[in-house]
Structure 1
Amino acid sequence: MDDFLTPVSTIRIADKEAEPEPSLASSQAKFSATNQVKFVPTSAEDALEILKQQPSYDELVSALRFLSRHTLENDIPSIKLPSPISAQLVQVLVSEIVTNHWVLLKEDAGDSKNSGFKLLLYCLSSITGINAILVRLRALIQEYKSETEGPGKLKRPDIHLNLETLLDLLENLLKGDGWLLEAWQTAKASTGLDGATSTARMRPRVQEILSLFGGGRIVSLAAEAEGIVKANKTAKDDNYEISVADAQQYTMWLGRNIVTWQLSDVALENAKFGSDLFSKGLKLGHGDALIKHVLSELVLKKGANPSRFGLLLGNLPSTEQRKVLFSILKLFSSKYLDRLGHCDTEDSKPLVAAVAGALEAIIGESNNLKDYLVEWLTSSSGAGLGEGVGIRRAVLAVVSQNRDGVVTVLEKSLGQFGDQLYIKHSPMLQQEAHAEVLLLSAGYVHRLSPIKLTLMMRTSVWLTAISNRLAAPHQKARLLGMWVGEALSNLVDKGDKRLNFDTEKEFEDMAIWYRGLTQVADEVGTTEALFESPPTAFSKKKTASLKAEKAAQAAPRRPAQPPQTGFIIEELSDEEGPEEDDLVPYAKPDSDEEDSDDDPTLIRRDKPKAPVYIRDLIRYLRDTDNYDLQKLALTTAPTLIRRKAEYGTEVKEHADELAGLLIGLSDKFEMEDFDDLRLQGMMALMAAQPKIMGPWFAKTFFDGDYSISQRASVLIVLGLASRELAGFETSTYTTAAAFPSKTLPERVEKLYLPQNTSLYQPPSSSTLKPLPPNALDGIAHSITDNFLAPMAAEAADAATGPDALKLSTFTSRLDNPEKVRRITKAKPRIRSIPNTTAGLLSSSFFTPLISRFQAALHSSSSKTRGIIFNPYLLSLYLKTLALIIHASGPSTLSLPQMTAELWRLLLNTSVRAQAVGDLQLTQAILFGFMALLDVNEDRMRDLCQEMGRELIEAKDWVAGVFGNLRGGDEGGEEERMKMLAAGVLVRLGEGIERWQLVLVGDLIGF
């Protein structure tokens, strides 16, 4: 029978009579005063024995103090050094002591180094301690999973409590920025000092440090344990978070430790350790954030030594060096040089020289890094797509230090600039960047060796490049060829031999700017300019106003005129009746809702006033904890931004800051119409500054750190703003934002305008109502109905319509066949809009969006590819491009180029692969083809001549989609998509059949 009874625990009872249990503070005071403990360790074995025997708190503190006091200086191995006895000690501390005494230890946490909490952390702050905690976490996680998967409830309901304790311990252990340096020094101290033997013994311990901190095991186990703890937490503890379980916060901790390592003297002799750890940290999923932090601390900080970062970069593998260097260039551009824009004046040279100096210090004498700079400038997807010209100027300033390097850049750029396939298939934003590189490098070569540039312009490469550019089908490609030809000819040729293409006045400013790039000569300077915060426009205005005030105060004042004295006597007439008859009483004021409360203490008299200036609006939006300010800012923003658009420069100066606040704003107070008001504010910015905000929103969509819903709002704003600028829609806020001087009195307005028609609302346009979440879908459905209506009419007129057009359900939704016939006779056509607006939509909306997407397709960043291949975002992105090109209309000069780029994007293998099994994305691709066919209705011959292969490929794909759709659900999504596919298929078939002779030459061998 005795075998059935198993003791759970053993309690030691003192011989003396039981006394009341003293408090923790009194026991600590007694221990510190008398230092009398029953078991005092004299060796590591004694300490281990004490820890195994369920010690009291005083005995525990005594053992921890003994273990933390003995180091190598005492000729006794430290608990931090790997040894059998230290492994046993750490195991006991993690599995038993922490579990039983953690609460008391946390209460004992103080500033004193001799507190039990600090002593415990010291004993466990080693590779052995971290490994022991991770092993214990893994065991508890496995036990939790096995018990929850089996029948019945948990056998040990305290597992999540133990996991929480271990996570708290791990969180406290990993505090500090010197962990890696201390771990390396501990590993070095344990190997001895015997040269080669020391190196051989050091290698496995260094690998252990690298695998532990750079392998992601800490984050994965901590995140899994945190999930279990959260699942067993109550509702009151929903905010429970552990920074070690967050990959981004752990990456930042690793970056701070790498910085501490690089700044130490040890890093100079053991540079590969820091580089290896940095390389592993780049693979944790937040490589850009790690690069940004390390670069900011080692380069972009006052008094920093950039050569330390070059040392870190030089020991990386070649592929990692290239990736990090390109990320650095992007960071320099976004943080310092993008604000320069198209600026090559003297004011921008100090900043460009500072960035060039930082790059020069980072690269040093590394030939590989210099070759990567040349590759970045000349690769088909490089040169900073979408970035300002400043970063290209800074890189060329570094490359120009070597004559051979800048000549190589010029030769490769010239050959690429004239390549026919490059001209036909590369995004225009990419071609513009490479044209800037070509002109800048030509200027450097002309200054270094004029004869070299002269000889290059006498070769067939130069003549072929200009000829191919002038023969390009796209207008912007031809213009680039003209501008480059004129700029280089001005450097080499003289007199009448200089090329002059007489650029149109519309593009004269851009032509002058491109020709001026050959005269830009940047130098490699110091990094001091990077530490100076650039003055904003507001601060400049403030400085100017202060100067004006001082000047006004210094100016002599005019003597004040004395007030008039005497009385003014005026005779009043009484002919019109008594005086009191002329007194008109005031109307009774409307009741105030706030005054209707019976309790006067509840009436608010501190209501905020509506913002009058853009800076006040920004201040309201920043105050995310004030409901009144947030509500007032959102309701006022659309009207205020539109009102300030053409009056002053407030909107232009604060546009990017205001847009960032509106995109990142969250519905903290669950306001009514929050999403609609936020989108209307963003649309007001787009309508006010389309040239600035179009590229800014496109860049933010791909590069910004936003959620899927916030990125979707960016696309919705771009699509709706393009239609508003084109005149298809009119916002209700436009009339409200108009000044009174711009409107007629109500009685006069009735004489000139029809009833219920506003001066700013054309009868042919619609009015933007409150925006639903699927605002673009509604517009897409409307355009689709207009596209299918003529074909539906033909199907209704014919006794037996085409079998491919199953449009009976569509025609039945119309009123009657007569209405269908009227639609056929008066077919809705896309309105011709001015070329200026169409060109704006092309250059500021369409080109930045599609160019950045094509660059993202070739990107190796998992984050970027995750954004562009999200099914919802990808379908919304394609619809946005289709709406922009539809809003541009058939009068757009760059319509051939826009059509070719969007058509090839819709046929992209990766895009079509994502559409397999996804109806929403498939419908977006079909809508893109429909918009292209609708806009290019009068250009079908040119389409067949220029893009014959693409038309045939699109027809085959649409036919396959149509065959795989079942349909049958009247009014359903699949039935509607089948109608759309049929309409696209019929329109493609008609065009190909009509112009099939044009296709014969292009399709030989297809």
Structure 2
Amino acid sequence: MDGFLTEVSTSRAIGKSRETGLQPVQQIGVNDLFVKRSNQTKAQQNAPSSAEDALEILRQEPDHDALISILRLVSREQQQHPSTFNIRRPSPLSAQLVQVLVSEIVPNYWTLLKEDSNTGKNSGPELLLACLRSITGINAILARLRALIREVKSEAGSKTKRPDLSLNIGYLIDVLCNVLKGDGCMREIWQATTAGLEDTRARARPLSQELLAIFGSGRIVGLAAEAFTIGKPDTGNEEIWPADALKYIKWLGQNISAWQLSGPTQEETKFCSDLFAKAMRLGHSDALVKDVLSRLVLTKGADPRAFGLLLSNIPQMEQRKVLFSVLKIFSEQYLNRLGRCDSNESKAPISAVAGALNMIIGSSESGRSHLTEWLTASSEAGLGESVGIRRAVLAITSQDRDNIVAVLEKSINQFGDQLYIKHSPILQQEAHTEVLLLSAGYVQRKSAVKLAMLLRSSVWLNAISNRLGTSHQRARFLGMVVGEALSSLVDKGDKRLSFSVDDTDLDEGRWFKGLVSVADQIGSLDSLLSPLKESTPTAPKKSAPQKFASRRPAAQPPQQGFIIEELSDEEMEDDDITPLAKPDSDAEDSDDDATLVNRDKPKAPVYIRNLIAYLRDSDNYDHQKLALTTVPTLIRRKANYGTEVSEHAEELASLLVGLQNKFEIDSFDDLRLQGMIALVIARPQVMGQWFSKTFFDGDYSVSQRVVILAVIGLSARELAGFESSEYAGAAAFPSKTLPERVERLFISSGSSNAYQQQSSASSLKPLPPNALENVARSLIQSFLAPMAATAADAATGPDVLKLSTFTSRLEEQNFNNPKVTIKSRARPRVRAIPNTTAQLISTSFFSPLAARFQAALHSPASRTRGIVFQPHLLGLYLKTLALLLHAAGPSTLALPHMTAELWRLLLSTSIRSHAVGDLGLTQAILFGFMALLDVNENRMRDVCQELGREVVETQEWVAGVFAGIRGGDGDGEEGQVKMLAAGMLVRLNEEVEKFQVLMAGELIGFN
């Protein structure tokens, strides 16, 4: 190398000597001095002595070796000599260093540093990330991202664009992902920021607040998402998780949990609590609580007291929200699967949940008051959840005599409130009834005198009287059950209250009355830490394959001569032997390359567990196609044979709801919908409530929730006999059916009854995407047809609201059924088959769906309300409720309660306010009123007496809708809405005129 430099130097000296006239010896001396100084500068770059020198070198665009030495120097100073200089502590010098690293070093060296072969803490990327893992580094990255995004937006209208902007944005996003990576990142940033400031809280508090403002707000998620749309970096298989709000929330939960498990100080715990409270307001609060709960409570070696300590430092509103979310998680993961908790095996999980809650709450009075509020609030107590979670909470509340007595007193007051009985969903009333019975049992064991005094008070007597005086059968049943159960605790002999009603002596009544004897204990968490056991049906034993003889049978001697036999025509016709057709050519055989032919095709699943395995294999086209084509038939066939469907119903439903059409399979939506309908038909009591709960609580898109509503509505109509599926015949095995030739002798095409004709006409094959819309249109036509025929006979004066064109337009509109025309003025004949599933539709479909909507209105989660109040989704939800009411029919015993609940829901301010300017939602509300009038046609007197105010308010609202729609003479959406409003107005005017005296008496306070 020395010889090389001497030669170059000599040649340059000779050349310059000719130009300048200097002596060669003098010129060589000058160049030697230059080389010497250059070597000194490189040495200085390779070994900076201080942070100031490092800053100067970084500003002069150092090479790779110089950059690595600078990063090692800064890292060594912040690790070994934190008192001298710390780049992660906020200061003017550290801010300048970080600014140069973010704006200059990252765009130029990040790709090169990632290609470094070294790994570990001393590698180039880790050294750079360590310098940026601070409040100063995060702020610098976000500020640089914001500036680059602003530059990109400013160039949106110009023709010339800088390609380096998107690249730099991509580099910064990748750096941000790596800086925030890991469960200990938050703790490391906080400790580096507040290092040395433990004694001066006045200086540490602003830094902590700054960290909360950065990580506890949507600043990182918003900037990352906006930057990701502009510059998409090539990060390999890693995802840009800071741009996803849900993943960012889970990252916060992981960091908070890891920090709490590491034994934090009091200041660190306070910061974790503040960060947890901030994160609860970012959305996805249930996911955050679930992640923190699973790490701090439901993991072996964890301490639930750490979770309680985390809750004790947050505000009361957030503490209440977190505690209620914890109760919901415990119920969904452990207790809902126990059902009514009749078996002895249910005691262990309930005691374990009670033990976990007791350790979380500890001695906190606010936590116990939140539990008391949860038990007695009008919209709480675990709506739609099993009784297990209420038993667990009452096991904790019963530890204090005053708390359990307060729960019982509030429950009795609420149980007998007339407004509560009249307006609360029946699902909510059943939950509070369970709380009342359970708390009464605890009070009787702790203080029998107190319970006897409560049952002698006027509040208790008025509660039973109000329950027995209500018109709703289910509310009366709950009143009788509670009266008999509590009387059995206090009264003896003939003094016991007995209504002598069969309903209270059935299984359900005995179960309710048995709640007063339930006494749960607070146990250990062992049963919660073990994984849930999923029972899988055992496969039937396969019979041994038949062994055939290896030898061929002896050949028969050939017959001599010809044998001619004459067959009659009848024998020829009855011959079952049909010639085999020529097999079709296989499309795969035509492939030129024989290696591409797939001979190992999977077979159709014959067990539910195989079907689940096929549905989970989302990367295999053959498995997905076979599973979809098999699921409707297999579920219906296995519904009443064995326990496969009942044990895996919820798992199958979850897979079908979340299934995506990855391979663009033909009839994908129809097959998936038919599979879910088959599940509901197989287990209506369980799956009807499951789909109602999933519609509100599941993390699904709007389109998936639309499918859930379609499943609920169409399944209820099939159960009621209004619809029939092409897969319904799969429920019967071939041994239960006649041969096809014999069946033709008994069933001819001309002898089918009216119900068979109706079933074939309304067969669901194939189901269009708007199946519920078509059903609603057909019901609208059947409702308006008689009024249209009557209006055709009258003059076109003001008596019929100018409905001269109403009849002609109704006859021209076919509602997707061109064969339907108005041939008779009489109402359509009621189907021949009786509706025997009215009570099932009421309890398992209508009540859960309506009650959970009321709970969603009062839910603190804004995301739930935002999803429910999507205009199209809300309109379809109202139509589904109307179809359920229509499917239940006029013979439903719970029809008065269903009518009042749906009528008040349609008139609620929250729904009508969203219908302003939205014709689709307005039509859904009108359709709901139409279904109410249609089903209650024979009991309008009772409706006008019980819901007089609602009927008058509905008349005024419909008149306003009719007057507010201008034009509407065509066949568009405005014309359909105005036509439906006109029909509703005619019908309401008739009912109001008929029962106006009765309604006036109701409105002024007497009947």
> Tell me, what secondary structure is at the counterpart of 2:724?
strand
| 1: CA distance, partners of 2:265 / 2:250 | 20
Q: Look up the match of 1:984.
A: 984
Say whether 1:165 aligns with 2:171: yes
Letter of the structure 2 residue corresponding to residue 160 of structure 1: S
Q: Look up the match of 1:559.
A: none
Aligned residues: 945
- State the shift of 1:592 in Å: 4.3
Say whether 1:806 aligns with 2:792: no
Residue in structure 2 matching 1:770, options 760, 766, 779: 766
Kept after mapping to 2: 8 A contact 1:830/1:890: no
Q: Look up the match of 2:788.
A: 792
Kept after mapping to 2: 8 A contact 1:732/1:769: yes
Write the deviation string for residues 744-776 of structure 1: whole angstroms up to 9, x where unpaired: 233333333231788997223321121111111
User: Structure 1 96/501 Cα, relative in aligned 2: closer, same or farther at 3 Å?
Assistant: same
Q: Look up the match of 1:200.
A: 202
Kept after mapping to 2: 8 A contact 1:948/1:1003: yes
Kept after mapping to 2: 8 A contact 1:627/1:669: yes
Write the deviation string for residues 600-632 of structure 1: whole angstroms up to 9, x where unpaired: 544432121111111111111111111111111
Letter of the structure 1 residue corresponding to residue 604 of structure 2: A
Residue in structure 1 matching 2:309, options 308, 311, 315: 311
Kept after mapping to 1: 8 A contact 2:709/2:877: yes
Q: Look up the match of 2:841.
A: 841
| 2: CA distance, partners of 1:402 / 1:832 | 59
Kept after mapping to 2: 8 A contact 1:830/1:889: no
Say whether 1:593 aligns with 2:590: no
Residue in structure 1 matching 2:58, options 51, 73, 83: 51
Moved more, 807-816 or 865-874: 807-816
Write the deviation string for residues 89-119 of structure 1: whole angstroms up to 9, x where unpaired: 1111111111211221111163243222221
Kept after mapping to 2: 8 A contact 1:81/1:190: no
User: Structure 1 17/589 Cα, relative in aligned 2: closer, same or farther at 3 Å?
Assistant: farther
> Tell me, what secondary structure is at the counterpart of 1:384?
coil
Q: Look up the match of 1:271.
A: 269
Kept after mapping to 2: 8 A contact 1:792/1:820: no
Write the deviation string for residues 172-231 of structure 1: whole angstroms up to 9, x where unpaired: 11111112222222233232x6x4xx122211111122112112222211111112115x
- State the shift of 1:853 in Å: 0.3
Residue in structure 2 matching 1:215, options 212, 217, 221: 217
| 1: CA distance, partners of 2:715 / 2:746 | 29
CA RMSD of aligned residues (A): 3.0
Say whether 1:657 aligns with 2:651: yes
| 1: CA distance, partners of 2:436 / 2:357 | 21
| 2: CA distance, partners of 1:853 / 1:17 | 87
Q: Look up the match of 2:100.
A: 92
> Tell me, what secondary structure is at the counterpart of 2:893?
coil
1:377-392 → structure 2 map (5 Å cutoff) = 377-392=375-390
| 1: CA distance, partners of 2:287 / 2:491 | 49
Q: Look up the match of 2:510.
A: 512
Letter of the structure 2 residue corresponding to residue 590 of structure 1: P
1:38-437 → structure 2 map (5 Å cutoff) = 39-71=46-78, 73-74=80-81, 75-108=83-116, 110-149=118-157, 151-154=158-161, 156-191=162-197, 195=199, 198-230=200-232, 241-268=239-266, 270-437=268-435
| 2: CA distance, partners of 1:392 / 1:847 | 20
Say whether 1:887 aligns with 2:887: yes
Say whether 1:501 aligns with 2:507: no
- State the shift of 1:807 in Å: 5.2
> Tell me, what secondary structure is at the counterpart of 2:930?
helix
1:4-15 → structure 2 map (5 Å cutoff) = none
Moved more, 865-874 or 221-230: 221-230
Kept after mapping to 1: 8 A contact 2:755/2:832: no
Q: Look up the match of 2:736.
A: 742
Question: So what's the TM-score if we normalise by structure 2?
Answer: 0.89
| 2: CA distance, partners of 1:419 / 1:836 | 33
- State the shift of 1:864 in Å: 0.8
- State the shift of 1:654 in Å: 0.7
Letter of the structure 1 residue corresponding to residue 889 of structure 2: G
Q: Look up the match of 2:28.
A: none
Say whether 1:488 aligns with 2:486: yes
Residue in structure 1 matching 2:535, options 534, 537, 546: 537
- State the shift of 1:829 in Å: 4.8
Residue in structure 2 matching 1:705, options 699, 703, 717: 699
> Tell me, what secondary structure is at the counterpart of 1:70?
helix
1:842-991 → structure 2 map (5 Å cutoff) = 842-991=842-991
- State the shift of 1:570 in Å: 14
| 2: CA distance, partners of 1:211 / 1:49 | 32
Q: Look up the match of 1:21.
A: none
- State the shift of 1:270 in Å: 3.9
| 1: CA distance, partners of 2:235 / 2:114 | 19
| 2: CA distance, partners of 1:774 / 1:427 | 29
| 2: CA distance, partners of 1:854 / 1:361 | 32
Kept after mapping to 2: 8 A contact 1:360/1:398: yes
> Tell me, what secondary structure is at the counterpart of 1:110?
coil
| 2: CA distance, partners of 1:238 / 1:123 | 24
- State the shift of 1:241 in Å: 4.9
- State the shift of 1:576 in Å: 11
Letter of the structure 2 residue corresponding to residue 322 of structure 1: R
Kept after mapping to 1: 8 A contact 2:636/2:730: no
- State the shift of 1:577 in Å: 6.2
Write the deviation string for residues 844-866 of structure 1: whole angstroms up to 9, x where unpaired: 11000000001111112111101
User: Structure 1 38/957 Cα, relative in aligned 2: closer, same or farther at 3 Å?
Assistant: closer
Question: So what's the TM-score if we normalise by structure 1?
Answer: 0.89
- State the shift of 1:237 in Å: 10
Letter of the structure 2 residue corresponding to residue 875 of structure 1: G
User: Structure 1 929/242 Cα, relative in aligned 2: closer, same or farther at 3 Å?
Assistant: same
- State the shift of 1:571 in Å: 11
> Tell me, what secondary structure is at the counterpart of 2:728?
helix
Q: Look up the match of 2:13.
A: none
Q: Structure 2: any 5+ residue segments left out of the alignment?
A: 10-41, 543-547, 568-574, 814-819
Residue in structure 1 matching 2:679, options 652, 668, 685: 685
Q: Look up the match of 1:3.
A: none
Q: Look up the match of 2:667.
A: 673
User: Structure 1 784/119 Cα, relative in aligned 2: closer, same or farther at 3 Å?
Assistant: same
